[in-house]
Amino acid sequence: MTIPIRETQSSEFSRWIWGLSLALFAVSLGLLLFYRGLNDPDEGRYAEIPREMLASGNWMEMRLMGFRYYEKPPLAYWIVAASLKAFGLNDGAARLPLLPVAAGVAALGFFLARKYWGREKAWTPLLVMVTCVGFFMGMAFLLTDNFLVLWFSATCVLLYEACQKDVSPGQRWLFTLLAVAAVVLGALTKGLVAVVLPAGILFLWLLWERRLGWLLHGSIPAAILLFFALITPIVLLIEKHNPGFFKVFVIEEHFSRFTGTREIQGHPEPFWFYFPIIPLLVLPWSLFLIRMVRNMKRAHALKEDSLSRFLVLWAVVVVAFFSVSSGKLISYIMPALIPFGLLLGRWGVGEPLDGSTTDRKLWKVGLSMIPIMGIVLLTLWIIAFHNIIPEDLSRPAPITLVFFLPAVLLMILMWAIKTFRTWPAFVLLLACIFLGFSVLLSPLGGRDFNGRLNSSCAIYKALGERLQPEDQVIMFKHYRPSFAFYINRIPWLYQVTNEMGQGIEMEPDRPGYLPDRNALVKVAQQSSGRWYAMLQGKKLKELDERALAYNPHFIAADPERIVVELKRD
């Protein structure tokens, strides 16, 4: 099997394969960003809050479906709102800011790898980092964590640069103060993790380097003063327009959530939750972890390579911090994917073969995960298409199989022709797999299939096209923020609590929440337009139980959601 990167890139055919792979990766990312419905609740939430800012003209108040919502600071909302204002109220415009965010993170990773490992060795770490499933797919989902990854990465890179022994005093001041600006942006995106974690990484790395004296440099107290000078007036302004924000966000969303003392504790998971998750996030390069550890040990990387030490601490601090936390989500450890990807690329994939049988076997085992991914994805497609597990997987549209055929053809060629099993061919196969997966998540996957994946945008859009100004819409018990985004109005909330509960309690007299049938009937009698209800697909009988008459002809439906017109008499 051909392994060294520079050898496989030398031929014209290999360059053609690299170009095709890049094009397919770009198409896959474009599909994920601009040709896919919003997933609930996260993507819907982070698109709807900015939409309401635009609709109200008040960019300072954070509201979700009319009620106050204080789980995050507003910077990510402002960025998305600006994109919606410039490019229109659509899901592609909501996700558009993720493109420069992903590009910025990739540029920061490449900068580190190129400067400290050399240009020739930098390309493989970059490729591995950006094609890890957790990074490639994760950076295409509208989450505040993605924006945090950019500010977090910028903070770590700038602090690492500021600590280099060959920087001038002026450069040290510049890098440190720029790092403060990145910390402020991170804090306004996600909170104190943008401050605490980079500080912990820096401290432990300096301790490892036996250079804690750097913390006595005059730029450190200046940086602390600058941080408070920048963040304090902004927080006071946010508090002024969002009364109670500081208490809710700092106390409940930070300390109470971390310790598990929050009244409603979301996403409780065991300490070891992230350990099996990390190999999944770094697919298809997971099996190269073995080769990475072996090569780092043989090269004494943690002794000889300062950047490797810094990246190891970066990854470990992030994962350890959130492992200790009571509440856990996969997206929380996205900042760790950058150091994981770079280390895997440098020592697991990019390190040349040492000529031993063991190393060649490790390389082959590592690359085997790419065709395994293709086989697994194709098997799931077949299972879904033939309704083998109808309760969990809806039938995808037949057209989607066409986009898997290039991957199937490549796997057959690689199995039959040994000389075709080259490094560029494996990368091309991965690009084909990503393309097939991205197509499944797009409208080409089919309304029912995407409905199962918690994206019912097709039926929401169908209702939005039908609505007249005087019509009213009810979100019936189930929390789906993207529903409000697609119909471009705030629905009435019938017994919807979940994350909305706190905001509803803050403003009990604010119209918009319907606690029971009597409240619904009273409001309906006072309006002149039609009434529509959105409810979970299997909960239609709840309308009968509450004596709410409805038109038996659905306005729109998928396996998870139904929209019906209510009868007002």
| pLDDT, tens only, 363-407 | 999 999 999 999 999 999 999 999 888 777 889 999 999 999 999
Q: Are 252 and 260 in contact (CB under 8 A)?
A: no
What lies within 8 Å, CB to CB, of 221 at 6+ separation is none
pLDDT of 5 higher than 60 = no
Query: What average pLDDT does the segment 176-193 reach?
Result: 96
CA neighbours within 13 Å on the CB side: how many for 373?
Answer: 27
Strand 472-476 vs strand 531-536: parallel, antiparallel, or unpaired? parallel
pLDDT at residue 391, rounded to an integer: 76
- Of 20-24, 305-309, 549-553, the poorest mean pLDDT is in 549-553
Q: Where are the domains of the chain?
A: 102-349, 372-452, 457-566
Torsions phi, psi for 535 (to 5 deg)? -145, 165
Could you give the CA distance from residue 480 to residue 39 in angstroms, rounded to a whole number? 9
Query: What average pLDDT does the segment 207-222 reach?
Result: 91
pLDDT at residue 234, rounded to an integer: 95
Cα distances (Å, whole numbers) of residue 352 to 81, 131, 349, 359, 483: 47, 20, 8, 9, 51
pLDDT at residue 476, rounded to an integer: 87
Cα distances (Å, whole numbers) of residue 29 to 131, 271, 288, 457, 479: 11, 33, 24, 19, 28
Cα distances (Å, whole numbers) of residue 259 to 199, 256, 451: 20, 5, 35
pLDDT digits (tens, 9 = 90+) for 319-353: 999 999 877 889 999 999 999 999 999 999 999 99
- Of 109-118, 232-241, 380-389, 555-564, the poorest mean pLDDT is in 555-564
pLDDT digits (tens, 9 = 90+) for 77-103: 999 999 999 999 999 999 999 999 999
* CA dihedral of residues 445, 447, 453, 455 (deg, nearest 10): 120
What lies within 8 Å, CB to CB, of 477 at 6+ separation is 494, 495, 496, 535, 536, 539, 542
Strand partners for 68: 63
Query: What average pLDDT does the segment 52-56 reach?
Result: 96
pLDDT of 251 higher than 80 = no
pLDDT at residue 267, rounded to an integer: 64
pLDDT digits (tens, 9 = 90+) for 468-483: 999 999 998 888 999 9
Q: How confident is the model at residue 437 (pLDDT cuts 50, 70, 90)?
A: very high
pLDDT digits (tens, 9 = 90+) for 508-551: 889 999 998 888 888 888 878 889 989 887 677 777 777 778 88
Q: Are 95 and 142 in contact (CB under 8 A)?
A: yes
Q: How confident is the model at residue 255 (pLDDT cuts 50, 70, 90)?
A: low
Could you give the CA distance from residue 102 to residue 507 in angstroms, rounded to a whole number? 38
Nearest in space to 500 (alpha carbons), one of 269, 288, 508: 508
Q: How confident is the model at residue 556 (pLDDT cuts 50, 70, 90)?
A: confident
pLDDT of 263 higher than 60 = no
pLDDT at residue 487, rounded to an integer: 95
Residue 21 CB coordination number (10 Å): 22
Strand partners for 64: 67
Q: Is the dihedral of CA 315, 317, 320, 326 positive or negative?
A: negative
Helix/strand/coil (H, E, C) string of 397-428?
CHHHHHHHHHHHHHHHHHHHCHHHCCHHHHHH
pLDDT at residue 549, rounded to an integer: 80
Torsions phi, psi for 474 (to 5 deg)? -120, 130
Q: Report the interhelical angle of 12-34 vs 98-117 (nearest 10°).
A: 140
Q: Are 514 and 494 in contact (CB under 8 A)?
A: yes
Residue 471 CB coordination number (10 Å): 17
pLDDT > 90 fraction of the chain, expressed in percent and rounded: 70
Could you give the CA distance from residue 199 to residue 532 in angstroms, rounded to a whole number? 51
Could you give the CA distance from residue 567 to residue 550 in angstroms, rounded to a whole number? 5
Q: Does pTM surpass 0.85?
A: yes
Q: How confident is the model at residue 7 (pLDDT cuts 50, 70, 90)?
A: very low
Q: How confident is the model at residue 1 (pLDDT cuts 50, 70, 90)?
A: very low
Residue 60 CB coordination number (10 Å): 13
pLDDT of 431 higher than 70 = yes
pLDDT of 456 higher than 50 = yes
pLDDT at residue 32, rounded to an integer: 96
Query: What average pLDDT does the segment 114-134 reach?
Result: 96
